[in-house]
Copies of this chain bind each other. A is one copy, B any other.
Amino acid sequence: MTKDLVILAYSGGLDTSCILKWLIEKNYDVICYMANIGQNEDFEKAKQKATSIGAKDVIVEDLRKEFVSNYMLPGVQMGLVYEGRYYLGTSLARPCISVGIVNAAKKYGAKYISHGATGKGNDQVRFELSVYSLWPEGKVIAPWREREFFTRFQGRADLIEYAKKENIPVSATPKEPWSTDENIMHISYESGVLEDPAAIPPPGIFKITRDLKQAEDYPSNIDIIFEKGLPVSLRIPSGHAKSLVISEPLALVEALNKLGGQHAVGRIDIVENRFLGLKSRGLYETPAGTILHLAHLDLEAYALDREVLRLKKYLQDRMADFVYNGFWFSPEATYTRKCLELSQESVTGTVTVQVYKGNVVILARTSASSLYNKELVSMDVAGGFSPEDSTGFININALRLKEYARFSTQSDK
């Protein structure tokens, strides 16, 4: 009798290794799926580990370009910031990985997809809502929400014991007292000792950005070129007064990550609201993403009409929630994304940015499509503008206020 096939989102770590073994125990065939989205990982070693545990196959797929071009940079274009501060590095990666794993499930004729996300977090939601959107007839096995599993493995100790018993290799280096999620866009840190919002995080947490004290001592000026809101090119200093132009999206992000890292750019420490209703504290470092977002924000204000900017802002805030909550493939996000892209038709131009000591300083911007009219705004030029018109404009705007004032005074009597 053929066994049912499960595609397991595999990380190489303790949790998903134990889940792999447990699924095999439960009489499933298991193919492990690993997406390379830029995390620091020894994929070959993980592959061997999965095979040794009993995976029928291990797929490693490089999704870095896919992630940068179809998720991270559109996130910049749409201006996605969650609760005013978080650039959604993890949230944007989940739908990208989901496409990869669903494609694998369909290709190999799997019945189930499984993952190691826990029951309190956002990632289970993002992952599963994406999977169900892409593959409505598919099914998900989430062991950390299965009573049998979570009562058997009540903590890390139980997993280690199980691993030892089942000859699953366990890393010798002790786990950091927090959890981490890494991709080309950002690294996040949460839980463990970070759970207390009143506790200043211990030093040495961050991996890709330097501490401010160690930041480079010179500023770096760069030009970022946007087309319809998308970053398409980067001009960056390259020693001896030369500069380099980078246009391949992945290379552009990598270059900005390196530069931002050297200049200590892109760290935040926030308390955020999870979709499940909990609040949680997280640290994030997002060097390239931070630089790109701030440059885009500047160009957008320059190029867009005032009222379009406001409509776009409303939609952007809604979209950030959709993405954070895992609804990337939903009707509302599909619709909002189209509207946001429409808003960016004229966001084409160049922003000159200084990166220095943790700061992203906007120096200048140019755009052939901006509605900025230097002549019109100039105090020295009368062109197209009669000062007397302002009197009428103010008087008419004051009409409603005077009525209100008269009425308010009246009713106070």
Q: Knowing A314-B314, A358-B358, A399-B278 are in contact, say whether A198-B365 is a contact too (CB < 8 A).
A: yes
In the bound complex, CA of A237 to CA of B71 (Å): 44
Report whether B278 and A377 are in contact in the complex, using a CB–CB cutoff of 8 Å: yes
In the complex, A39 has a CB within 8 A of chain B: no
Report whether B306 and A400 are in contact in the complex, using a CB–CB cutoff of 8 Å: yes
In the bound complex, CA of A361 to CA of B268 (Å): 8
Tell which of B297, B321, B398 touches A132, judged by Cβ atoms closer than 8 Å.
Answer: B398
In the complex, A280 has a CB within 8 A of chain B: yes
In the complex, A342 has a CB within 8 A of chain B: yes
A196 CB, nearest partner CB in chain B, Å: 6
- The closest CB in chain B to the CB of A150 belongs to B387
Counted per complex, copies of this chain come to 4
Tell which of B132, B145, B318, B391 touches A401, judged by Cβ atoms closer than 8 Å.
Answer: B132
In the complex, A124 has a CB within 8 A of chain B: yes
Per-residue interface assignment for chain A, residues 305 to 319, with 1 indicating a CB less than 8 Å from any chain B CB and 0 otherwise? 111111101110110
Which residues of B have CB within 8 Å of A343? 335
Per-residue interface assignment for chain A, residues 113 to 132, with 1 indicating a CB less than 8 Å from any chain B CB and 0 otherwise? 00000111000110011001
Report whether B276 and A364 are in contact in the complex, using a CB–CB cutoff of 8 Å: no
Choose the segment among A50-58, A166-174, A247-255, A326-334 that binds chain B (4+ C-beta atoms closer than 8 Å). A326-334
A69 CB, nearest partner CB in chain B, Å: 23
In the complex, A336 has a CB within 8 A of chain B: yes
A387 CB, nearest partner CB in chain B, Å: 3
In the complex, A60 has a CB within 8 A of chain B: no
Which residues of B have CB within 8 Å of A277? 306, 396-397, 399-400, 403
Q: Knowing A336-B311, A401-B129 are in contact, say whether A301-B271 is a contact too (CB < 8 A).
A: yes
In the bound complex, CA of A384 to CA of B316 (Å): 33
In the complex, A372 has a CB within 8 A of chain B: yes
Report whether B311 and A361 are in contact in the complex, using a CB–CB cutoff of 8 Å: no
Report whether A406 and B200 are in contact in the complex, using a CB–CB cutoff of 8 Å: no
Tell which of B83, B327, B338, B403 touches A371, judged by Cβ atoms closer than 8 Å.
Answer: B403
A259 CB, nearest partner CB in chain B, Å: 16
Per-residue interface assignment for chain A, residues 99 to 141, with 1 indicating a CB less than 8 Å from any chain B CB and 0 otherwise? 0000000000000000000111000110011001110100000
Which residues of B have CB within 8 Å of A314? 314
Per-residue interface assignment for chain A, residues 369 to 381, with 1 indicating a CB less than 8 Å from any chain B CB and 0 otherwise? 1111110111110
In the bound complex, CA of A307 to CA of B322 (Å): 10
In the complex, A352 has a CB within 8 A of chain B: yes
A356 CB, nearest partner CB in chain B, Å: 6
In the complex, A59 has a CB within 8 A of chain B: no
In the complex, A273 has a CB within 8 A of chain B: yes
Pick 20 A–B contacts, CB within 8 A, sort by A: A120-B379, A133-B401, A145-B388, A155-B380, A197-B365, A201-B363, A276-B396, A276-B399, A278-B400, A279-B371, A311-B336, A311-B339, A331-B400, A339-B342, A358-B358, A384-B399, A384-B402, A386-B395, A390-B392, A392-B395
Q: 6 more A-B contacts (CB under 8 A) besides A119-B388, A124-B394, A270-B362?
A: A129-B401, A133-B402, A212-B357, A271-B301, A371-B403, A384-B399
CB-CB nearest 9 A-B residue pairs: A392-B392, A119-B387, A277-B400, A307-B332, A273-B306, A305-B331, A389-B392, A393-B396, A136-B402
